[in-house]
A and B are shown apart, each in its own frame.
Chain A
């Protein structure tokens, strides 16, 4: 009986955190949505296709070592990537790494860094939202 309660509590805690992570990522997307509408009143909704395109494409304007997001994250979002310094990066797909896109500060930090490295500029709210929407389908 004791064991069962503990198991239930454990499962509950797990569901709780992953639920919180999901709730957070929904909030983050809503934030980007609001920002994207401010940038362009005609904007309607994010698109996973546009996100995939943005992720896989070779960009210009960034640093020569990093032409694309796939340089480090590899072409398959559900596989592990590798930094240029050799460290493994957990998959970007939410199905593989559930706590992705749940910490606003972290998400913003990496968009800031990775967009300057790859595109040589910051990313727009629309690009960020498309990207996360794509990763949610993976």
Chain B
């Protein structure tokens, strides 16, 4: 009771940034740092961390958007000083080497927040489309085509560059305000208070409770959405004759890994199959041929179908495609003759999900003793 009464009048040195907003700000700093590091330096397993950072960002951003309407006075978007007149006046005074002190965001700072938040929202969205379309993973896997995923990747990269620039401006601006104009913005984002500021509105304990509750609810909602939407879109070859006859010497490769033409050429030359006789009775060969005419790289919309399956090679090998070679150029040739592997065509020695044609980065498990 006493607390509320105290806060009724504009008050000096009051809390202007409520706890949920400060939590949002610093969580954002951490998560964006992780996302940027794993995004720019990612390789293999790091992609998973990048994606988790993306989900965390999604939660944080959803929270911030709602908090812009439900939070305490200075957290609300309609209290941002975004009007043109105010911005121009602010810039003019900056040019003269002065900066008026605002209790909440100043006009340039407020626009910065708008730019940061919109870039981040678009980044997360485009990221979800890349993850769904290109990697066939995550909540958008069944919605996004490979083409959309690929286009989104370019957008995602441009946005990431924009975000880095925006962060540089934001941090630069805060440092100038803090150390040159002596407005203690950094301390305010930590303690929530600004010395000597006459604050509008009031920050109550209820704001903290509401903010935490809201955030927890959003995290649960996002987790449910992410888990529920991951349908099993990947299954192994569906023809028993194929999986049996083409699975005797190596795994039965997923039909999406060669074109119908390549499969046909291979099936018509089984008497001389990479130095071996792999011939079939005419009846079985015809059945497999029919299956692979209906199921092949052109009928699947996955990453492997696009990057390996649809690329024809003179040897008909998947391992002769540029993409395959680029992805495996860290390994010495001797790695492939390791006792647990035997040959580079033994995909499932390392790719746990090879039979389904998924080849997710996260399903790679090198046999013991094999190193990159």
Contact = CB atoms under 8 A, between A and B. Distances in A.
A82 B342 contact: yes
A39 B343 CA distance: 41
B346 A87 contact: yes
Interface stretch (B8-16, B128-136, B272-280, B307-315): B272-280
Interface in B240-272: 248-251, 271
Contacts of A82: 342
B208 to A, nearest CB: 59
A113 B345 CA distance: 20
Contact of B249 (A64, A65, A84): A84
A102 interface: no
Interface in B318-360: 341-343, 345-346, 349
Interface string A2-36: 00000000000000000000000000000000000
B277 A116 contact: yes
Contacts of A86: 250, 341-343, 345-346, 349
B277 A84 contact: no
Given A85-B249, A86-B349, A87-B250, A117 B343 contact: no
A83 interface: yes
Contact of B278 (A64, A65, A66, A113): A113
A66 B275 contact: yes
Interface residues of A, number: 16
A83 B341 CA distance: 11
Contacts of B275: 63-66, 84, 117
Contacts of A85: 249-250, 342-343, 345-346
Contact of B271 (A84, A87, A116): A116
A96 interface: no
Contacts of A116: 271, 277, 279
Contacts of B251: 87
Contact of B343 (A84, A109, A114): A84
Nearest to A106: B248
Interface in A82-137: 82-87, 109, 112-114, 116-117
Contacts of A84: 249, 274-276, 342-343
Contacts of B341: 86
Nearest to B342: A86
Nearest to B343: A86
A64 B271 CA distance: 15
A109 B342 CA distance: 24
Contact of A113 (B250, B277, B343, B346): B277
Contact of B277 (A83, A87, A117): A117
25 contacts: A63-B277, A65-B275, A66-B276, A82-B342, A83-B248, A83-B250, A83-B342, A84-B276, A84-B342, A85-B249, A85-B342, A85-B343, A85-B346, A86-B250, A86-B343, A86-B346, A86-B349, A87-B250, A109-B281, A113-B276, A113-B279, A114-B277, A116-B271, A116-B277, A117-B275
Q: Which 3 A-B pairs have the closest CB atoms?
A: A86-B342, A86-B346, A85-B250
